Amino acid sequence: MSDVHHPQSPHEGHDGHEHHDGHDRYEGQTHWPSAWPHPAALPVPALVDAAWLHQRLHQRQHQHQHRDAVVLLQVDDDSSSYYERHLPGARPIDTFDELHQHVRRGPLHRAGFEHLMDAKGVHRGDHVVLYSAGDPTHAAFAFWLMRLYGHPRLSLLDGGLRAWAAAGHPLSQDVPTWPGPHPAPAHTDGTDGTDGTDGTDGTDGTRDTAYTADERDASLIIGREEVLTRYVDAPAPALVLDCRTPGEYQGSSHHQLDVAAERHRVPGHVPGSRNLPSALVLNPEGTFKTREQLRQLFASRNLAADSQVVVYCRLAERSALLWFALAELLGHEPVRHYVGGWAEYGSLIDAPVTREDAPVEHG
């Protein structure tokens, strides 16, 4: 994102303005006067570039390490690329194996998320910087998930590993060590406690994690029933954005992982939705477009100040990228993520579907 790249100081936000967050007052401090906010309570920019991150990490190496913990998480569709190269000190996350429930389909419930944070050595006050080696949608999905459970200090590395390497910053194959996870609770249903079978948050009322998450933020997520009743062919201010490719949206092509012969999922899109492929929010090198470019892009899909936005794709990764651009970079509210996506909606019996070449059906 061109209006993000290299802030003049590590306190400059992604809006290009200096944020006097008070960090300078803490240089050399080993304890914090009660009248001063602890660094863990200070805000951080949602989008940072390689220069910003390198400067922040360099500062930490020459100051008291505990004063403002930065945790790097590399998020990819699988972790194999992490072991080839990663940012020094980064920890791996596998999108499909670690960010989703293991029995039911869907993102982690609260208990599973808390165990994941413990497993990665993440504390509630840590500044977590997320990035991907390849497709940035995976880091964006992890960002959305952490925001869903209220982690307060999150940043996305603009351009990911590719931008970091292009800037000449070091990469590593060393796997760091960090505090291990707490043992998972025993469940009589044979699950690992991440599927919500014992309660709305996936627990049986006990807690054995060091990390404590908030309840899910309902303003960031939406389910199929509300999509069907409130957003199908709904007038403004409702606005549904389909983040898939034009071919998927029109129903003329399938995602490469779909098996068209099974006809388990019809092609097309949610009636009334507008197509905005997630790739359009990025520059060719994988960084985000400027805020003005993003405003024009969303305005071309009829975004207004009062729009009640829902985003979806096939699963939930591509739409997470659009959610990040609209909610975090442009500050629009509300933007709710339909994580079921077309994988769910296109499989529903008798749900209304629009397809460009659909024949007229009778009866």
Active site residues: 313
Quick one: CA torsion of 259, 265, 270, 271, rounded to 10 degrees? 110
User: What gap in Å lies between CA 211 and CA 234, rounded to an integer?
Assistant: 40
The radius of gyration of the chain from alpha carbons, rounded to an integer in Å, stands at 21
Contacts with 357 (C-beta within 8 Å, 6 or more apart), sequence order: 250, 251, 252
3-state secondary structure 255-289: CCCCCHHHCCCCCCECCCCEECCHHHHECCCCCEC
In this structure, the strands spanning 308-312 and 127-131 are unpaired
Residue 122 burial (CB count, 10 A): 22
User: What gap in Å lies between CA 170 and CA 277, rounded to an integer?
Assistant: 33
Bridge partners, residue 93, by sequence: 75
Q: 């990228």: which residue's tokens?
A: 321
Go through the chain and tell me how many residues it has: 363
| DSSP assignment string, 115-154 | HHHHHTT--TT-EEEEE-SS-THHHHHHHHHHHHTT-S-E
